Structure formats: C-alpha cells, structure tokens
Structure 1
Amino acid sequence: MKTGKIALITGATAGFGEACAERFAREGYRLIVTGRRTERLTALQEKLRTAYGTETLALTFDVRSKAEVVAALEQMPDAWKQIDVLVNNAGLALDLSTIDEGDTDDWDTMIDTNVKGLLYVSRTVIPWMKARNSGHIVNIGSTAAKTVYAKGNVYCATKSAVDAISQGMRIDLLPYGIKVTAVHPGAAETEFSLVRFKGDEDRAKDVYTGFQPLKAEDVADVVWYCASLPPHVCINDLVVTATAQANAYYTFK
C-alpha cells in the first residue's frame, strides 16, 4: 500500500542504509537514496521497483562535499522535497590506533563524513520540513557515542558529536513539530569492519566471532519502528545491541 510519503536515506549502498531503504519501501514510501557508488544505487533502485513497485530517486554524491550535497538535493523537483523522514546513515570508521599513531587522513574522512556530512544534508533538508511544520530526522549514531573504547578515539568522538547534534536538533526544532531520533547500534555484521580494516577480511570477520551480532535488518526495523509511531510520540535516544553485547566495550563471547 502506497503512503505517498517520502524518505531520504544517505549511505544507502550497503548496510543499515540499504536495509532501511528496503524496509521503508516495503511500507509504501517513495525513496530518495544517496551514496557514492552509482552502480549500487542503480541496482538498489531496480530491486525496490521490482519487489515493491517503489518510486525511487537515486542521487550519487559524497556527503563530505557541501557543494555536492547542496547541488544534488536542491536540483530535485519540488515534489521530491516534501521529505517526511530523513535517515542520516552515511558514516564509517577507519582503523584502530592510539591517538599518537592515528592517520590524520583517516581522521579527516571520519569527521567529514560522520559529522559534517550529516550536518550538510540536514541543513539542506530541514528548511523544507520547517515550511510544512512536519518531519522526522533519524540520525544513526553508535554505542561508541556512549562508551569510548581503546583506539577508538576519533571515531568515538564523531559519534559523540552525532549524539550531541541530535539533542541540539531536538531542541531547536521543537517549535516546528519535527521529530529527531538518535539510534545507536552496537556490533552489526555489515561492511563496517571491512571498511574499518581497509579490506582485511580475516580481521573484519574476527570482530563478530563467538557471538551473534546484529544484522542490518535489525537496525532497519528499529528505525522503522521509531518512524512509524503516532505524531505525538517521539523516541529521542535509543541504544540497540546484540543480546551478547552490553556496550561498546563489553561483549560476551
């Protein structure tokens, strides 16, 4: 059943973003999906059309570039700017290292993607929501926002920033009826660790050995639940982990 509503999901080429796109498509939403890999966005667009008859707009851009973000979103037809749900999912971790040995290029990539990218997209979309006094922003954080772990320094800092920005958004957007939710997942078996360890499959796989981690679909279900609540109900902050994981530091294996 088509709802007529629109969800914009960043980082939709894999993991949480792709799973969220499928979940919202299943619920009858029209979708704007963004990412850096055109071929993956095209494949997702076709998959959603075939499976759910979803009308999907695929936009290729890098959230790290303010110019690309603004150009891609502003050029959309006005009908597509009536966004009901924004899922700020684009993000990544790169490597594990002590602060004195960290790769500053990795730091820049994490800060530019996880923090500035989220801000650039939000800054563009929020005025459209304000004009309608309606909307819901879901920011994907991490348990790393709540518990700092060894060698996680800058990544943890970026997710702490997402936590703080989400709280600030909630306050600033209160007069406009716009909901803001931060969803903080724990260990989930996606491309996350493969990206963090720069393609080292053995090292990435070892992260999830000995326990059952979350799946991308689990997180998508949580995001959908938050977005599907009645207009007067808003979940502000939500931490979700595998049963075997208490926080970013403690996991029973």
Structure 2
Amino acid sequence: MGKSIHWLAAASFVTGMAASVPASAVVYEFSFTGKYTLLDNAGNFMDQQSISSTLQYDDAAGSGFSANLTIANFDTFGATATIHDISLLRVSGTNYIIGNMLGDWNNNFGVPISMVWDATGLFNAIDIGLQVGDVISGSSLKRNGVVIADVGSALPASDSLGLNQQGPAPLAVSTLNTATLCTPGVDCMNNPVTGGAPFSDDGIGGSPMIDGPFLGLNVNFDIGSGNSLKVTAVSAVPLPGAFWLFGSGLFGLIGAARRWRGC
C-alpha cells in the first residue's frame, strides 16, 4: 500500500511536469517604422530620417531570446546608408537589448555601430499576448484600432534634446554605452563589432562609434517611435525531438506506476 502511494505521487508529479511544458515556442514577426537620429560626440543633433523594415522575435519557449532585425537603406547627408550584419542580445535579467551592426556610407564600408535599446514596451506587449494585426504604437498596444493596454514603452534618449521629439518607443535607444571588445584603429573595421556589457552612461543617446571616419558620433535607431511596430505573423515552432523523447520517458514511468499499483 505504501509503495502504491509513492508511485502514484510520482506519476502525478511527472504528469504535471509534462502538462506544464509548452509544446512549442512562439515566433513573432513585425514590420516597423521609426527614426534614425544622428548625434555628435557632445550629444548635439545632426540629422534625423525615417526608417522601416522588419523584426522577428522567438520567445524560445520562455527560456531564451532570439531575434533578427533588418533596416531598410536610408539617405543621410547626401548618401545612402546600408546597415548589415545586425546581431541582437538581450541583457540577462533586464529589458535591455544590445544591438551590434556594421554600416556602409559614402564609400566607407563596415563601420562598427553599437547601441543599447530599452525594449520594455516590446517585452510587456509580448507578455500580454499578441495577435496578427496588433500594433504597438509608442506606448499603446492597439487591436483593431482600439487601445487595449499601455505597455510602458521608454522614451528615446534623443528626445531629451527637445527637438524632433518622437515620443515613447517599444525599442528606444538609451544613453548606455557598450564596452568595446575590439581595438579601435586596429581591427574594428575588419571584424564585426562586439560591444557588450558592462555599460557606461554618458547621457547621450547611442554608443559612440569607436573607429572609422565617424569616431565619436552616435547613431540611434528608435523602433516604433511615434509610429508603429505591427505584428505580421505569429507562429508556433515545435520543440526539438529530444523533448519528446524525454516526454515519452515520463509517460513510460506513469505506465510503470500504474502496473505497480495493480500488483
């Protein structure tokens, strides 16, 4: 009788575990509009242009962060800027995302650019739950044109200038500067920039460029600022096969518990 109780308890426990583990991760795809803002090394305004393109976020079943960002080409100071090799990393335990990328402009290629976004608005909206057609506009989550929640988006750091203000953004560039893990003037122009934590804070939006002809200038890409981050797709991605092998083991254990109970 005592053995039967122990096995029944074990069976109940593993059944609960199996039920609590999600069958898939969720991938959200967005189209967005926003602003590019360029500041000099003292934080003075230099240029601002509209930007647009796509963002894809994978919640990795709640265990991690994976995202892909593209930014369409845009014109600044008489030439077209191309941003490529974009990588994103969420700072563990925070709503900050580090963005590292390379920029081409006016025959300057592979200029390293780094910035830290406050993505509170994006993560809060995902926690609420998103559907295709939802729009995060500034700090408002809209469904069918109706505001259903305030997601607490942060203000872009460049708004502190008092000029060309954008309002809250789901991904708002902060005043945090990334630590640089390559050597300015030696290899930054030949390899992707790898700026990361720890951070310093100079009160200026964006992280100063560390190499190339634009040393010290600060690029800001505020996404959804005063415009929109629109959900274009929500899809489930099955968990790896290893999980299901683990799950079958759990149900095998449950079966053993039942056979033991019958003895």
TM range (shorter): under 0.3
The structure number with the bigger radius of gyration is: 2
- Tell me the TM-score normalised to structure 2 length: 0.24
Question: Larger helix proportion, structure 1 or 2?
Answer: 1
If asked which structure has higher relative contact order (CA below 8 Å, sep 6+), I would say: 2
